[in-house]
Amino acid sequence: MSEKKNYGFTTTILHGDRQKTIEHGSLHKPVHTSVAFGYTDARQLASVFQGREPGFRYGRQGNPTVSALEEKVNKMEGGVATLCFATGMGAIGAVFQALLRAGDHVVSSSFLFGNTNSLWQTVAGQGVGVDFVDATDIANVAAALKDNTRIVFVETIANPRTQIADLRRIGELCAEKGILYIVDNTMTTPYLFRPKAVGAGLVVNALTKSIAGHGIALGGSLTDTGAYDWSRYPNIFENYKKAAPSMWGITQIRAKGLRDFGASLGPEAAHHIAVGAETLALRMERTCANAKALAEMLEADPRVAAVHYPGLPSHPQHRIAGELFKSYGSLFSFELKDGIDCFDYLNRLKIAIPASNLGDTRTLVIPVAHTIFYEMGAERRASMGIAESLIRVSVGIEDTADLVDDFKSALDA
Ligand SMILES: *Cc1c(COP(=O)(O)O)cnc(C)c1O
């Protein structure tokens, strides 16, 4: 496959790794299980260690199978470089381990994946100031910035209430102030949206979710989009400033985040994720269409109190979502009217499965307040707009009519 032509999203993912010859003409990058990599010339080993030539040394820092996946994700995001991690949380954790020091300040969206929210609480206990703001309004983000603010962190479509941060204007504000802008793109995936387009310097993807799609492997990634000027970032060690500034951030994250903390992606998981990623675009088309059909049916039903889905004109950020994203996503949440018990409702569903993953090919449902948002308590749930009866739906690729019938029949019963 030639490097020159501007191929489409799926062609690029399928054929991108053939720009280098794959061993024995294998159509899939092989699963390299070796932890260490040997050299016939000891000087070459030293040269690889010193970063003077590319190569693999020890599995925690890199592996050929993982590296092929990194290239695929990098192409999807249009990045300068991508690193993979054992999980999405491993990727987010590495940002904080590698880039923040005591006395720094972070502004984060208050509408966050629950474990990221929990991670921020940990970071806050270690001398980094964290302010949570409603990032759907740029004024809140601007008001929270301080002289020592290093990072603004938001998600695209928040899970589970689907609020959408004012992504473009936050990007402009960060660019003006020289602040690193990090966007967790898990809910949209690079098929629906590239955060690089709104100035994000680093992009997080939980590969576990829609990119893999099958729910059989955990993984995460960080992509440097090239949009951030690392010479403006104060916490880069002199050691990692040898290459061009565009590589400083990713070099420090690889050493201080991935190598030192060790949340490395295994080659078997990388292989599973790479195979799943081949059908990302096809699955997203189907899951987004299914989500829209379900959300519209539920919103029209008098027994449903509220439906939160960016594809509905009633959603507060419907217009922004339409401008920024190719489609409105495969996740929505809804609240039943008083008198319908959410557990009884879920138990009546015949296709959708009560489970906590998302981005799977199967439709998964979960009572949010009683599970993934249970630990934080009722007060913080209320402040995040999480109703006690809220049901999150991660929509799969099942046939549309079957899904609509399943969710409707469970109301009728
Ligand atoms: C699931 C998820 C993560 C964490 O990914 P894991 O692979 O489960 O660690 C991070 N951010 C978002 C938005 C997620 O949905």
- The H-assigned helical ranges of 36-159 are 42-49, 64-77, 88-99, 114-124, 138-144
pTM for this one?
Answer: 0.96
pLDDT at 22: 85
Reported in sequence order, the residue ranges of 214-330 that DSSP labels E, i.e. its strands, are 220-224, 304-308
Stretch(es) of the chain classified as CATH 3.40.640.10: 9-277
CATH topology of domain 281-412: Aspartate Aminotransferase, domain 1 (3.90.1150)
Report whether residue 209 contacts ligand 1, using a CB cutoff of 6 Å: yes
Stretch(es) of the chain classified as CATH 3.90.1150.10: 281-412
- Residue nearest to ligand 1 atom 1, measured at CA: 206
- The H-assigned helical ranges of 127-266 are 138-144, 167-177, 189-192, 248-252, 260-261
Q: What six digits make up the tokens of 235?
A: 């916490």
Query: What does the pLDDT look like over 56-97, one tens digit per residue?
Result: 999 999 999 999 999 999 999 999 999 999 999 999 999 999
CA distances from 285 to 274, 282, 290 (A): 19, 5, 9
Q: Output the furthest CA–CA distance in the chain (Å, rounded).
A: 74
Atom of ligand 1 nearest to the CA of 92: 10
Q: What six digits make up the tokens of 203?
A: 């992009």
Are the CB atoms for 326 and 193 separated by under 8 Å? yes
Query: What does the pLDDT look like over 360-400, one tens digit per residue?
Result: 999 999 999 999 989 888 998 888 788 999 999 999 999 99
Report whether residue 360 contacts ligand 1, using a CB cutoff of 6 Å: no
pLDDT at 4: 61
Smallest CA-to-CA distance from 9 within 290, 208, 324, 278 is with 278
Transcribe 118-151 into DSSP letters. Answer: HHHHHHHTTT-EEEEE-TTSHHHHHHH--TTEEE
Residue 133 to residue 144: CA distance in whole angstroms: 8
Q: 10-residue block means of pLDDT along the chain (413 residues)?
A: 76 83 89 96 94 93 95 96 98 96 96 90 92 97 98 96 97 98 98 98 98 97 98 95 93 95 98 98 98 98 97 98 98 94 96 96 96 88 88 98 98 88
- Residue nearest to ligand 1 atom 8, measured at CA: 88
Smallest CA-to-CA distance from 104 within 135, 134, 147 is with 147
Distance 156 CA to ligand 1 centre (A): 13
Report whether residue 149 contacts ligand 1, using a CB cutoff of 6 Å: no
Residue-level length of the chain: 413
Task: Give the three-class secondary structure for 84.
Answer: strand
pLDDT at 243: 87
Report whether residue 89 contacts ligand 1, using a CB cutoff of 6 Å: yes
Q: What six digits make up the tokens of 140?
A: 């809140």
Architecture of domain 9-277: 3-Layer(aba) Sandwich (3.40)
pLDDT at 3: 59
Range 276-312 burial, b when 16+ CB lie within 10 A, else e: bbebbbebbebbbbbbbbbbebbbebeebebbbbbbb
Report whether residue 208 contacts ligand 1, using a CB cutoff of 6 Å: yes
Amino acid at 317: Q
Residue 271 to residue 42: CA distance in whole angstroms: 30
Task: Give the three-class secondary structure for 304.
Answer: strand
Report whether residue 199 contacts ligand 1, using a CB cutoff of 6 Å: no
- Residue nearest to ligand 1 atom 4, measured at CA: 88
Distance 88 CA to ligand 1 centre (A): 5
Residue 259 to residue 98: CA distance in whole angstroms: 10
pLDDT at 2: 53
Report whether residue 93 contacts ligand 1, using a CB cutoff of 6 Å: no
User: Residue 98: phi, psi to the nearest 5?
Assistant: -90, -25
